[in-house]
Chain A
Amino acid sequence: GAVVSQHPSRVICKSGTSVKIECRSLDFQATTMFWYRQFPKQSLMLMATSNEGSKATYEQGVEKDKFLINHASLTLSTLTVTSAHPEDSSFYICSAKRASGRVNEQFFGPGTRLTVL
């Protein structure tokens, strides 16, 4: 149990276009989902926390208009990178916290590698 999927796994897009990444909890309900960004050979940087039915909470320095997050249901959160630029190229990882689980236990998706040309 506790499987989290992400789609797509890889995406290449042109500069100026928008890209949507989906994060789904497949076998559990997730009240909270988290979006991280990982640069090559570096740690994960938390971008935002999304709660079902409410606005996402963004970390300091993360542009909310650039990275749109929608947590439409207890099993789905989406991250849209708007007007993508080459500097947005990165590995984006989501995680989900069970609605009924212990505090702080997150389950991670496999990640989405975004390349902006």
Chain B
Amino acid sequence: GDSVTQMEGPVTLSEEAFLTINCTYTATGYPSLFWYVQYPGEGLQLLLKATKADDKGSNKGFEATYRKETTSFHLEKGSVQVSDSAVYFCALGSTGTASKLTFGTGTRLQVTL
């Protein structure tokens, strides 16, 4: 079945550092890929998405490219801020009618001054 593997956290960075959170997936067909962010005590917010191979999703300085050849969707940001501290979830959307999302385990990012 479908699965998503994320790098384990927590990831601790200084402000303005470069961020990479790795995500790889296993799926049949041509899934959509998502990054969601969860701030403390809140629900999930869609950060960015890509619906086909070679698509690049971007938002708020974050970006991720759908790489079918490596089955990856790594999240990157050139310069993180303290306000980016949150848990980041990589997710895969199935291509079937059920439209289920399969989530990775989440990666906690802590950005310090």
Contacts and interface: CB of A to CB of B under 8 A. Distances in A.
A46 B100 contact: yes
Interface residues of B, number: 23
Interface stretch (B55-63, B65-73, B74-82, B87-95): B87-95
Contact of B106 (A43, A93, A107, A108): A43
Contacts of A97: 99
Contacts of A105: 32, 46, 49, 93
Interface in A74-117: 93, 95, 97, 102-111
Contacts of A110: 42-43
A111 B106 contact: no
**Interface residues of A toward B: which range?**
20 to 34
A104 B44 contact: no
Contacts, number: 57
Given A42-B105, A44-B89, A103-B32, A111 B99 contact: no
B101 A106 contact: yes
Contacts of B99: 32, 97, 103-104, 106
A25 interface: no
A108 B105 contact: no
Given A103-B95, A106-B99, A108-B36, A43 B46 contact: no
Contacts of A43: 89, 103-106
A68 to B, nearest CB: 20
A104 B89 contact: no
A46 B92 CA distance: 13
Interface of B: 31-32, 36, 42-46, 49, 51, 89, 93-95, 98-101, 103-106, 108
The 3 closest A-B pairs by CB, nearest first: A104-B93, A110-B43, A111-B43
Given A44-B44, A44-B103, A102-B51, 17 more contacts: A34-B101, A41-B108, A43-B105, A43-B106, A44-B89, A93-B43, A97-B99, A103-B32, A104-B95, A105-B46, A106-B99, A107-B46, A108-B43, A108-B44, A108-B45, A109-B43, A110-B43
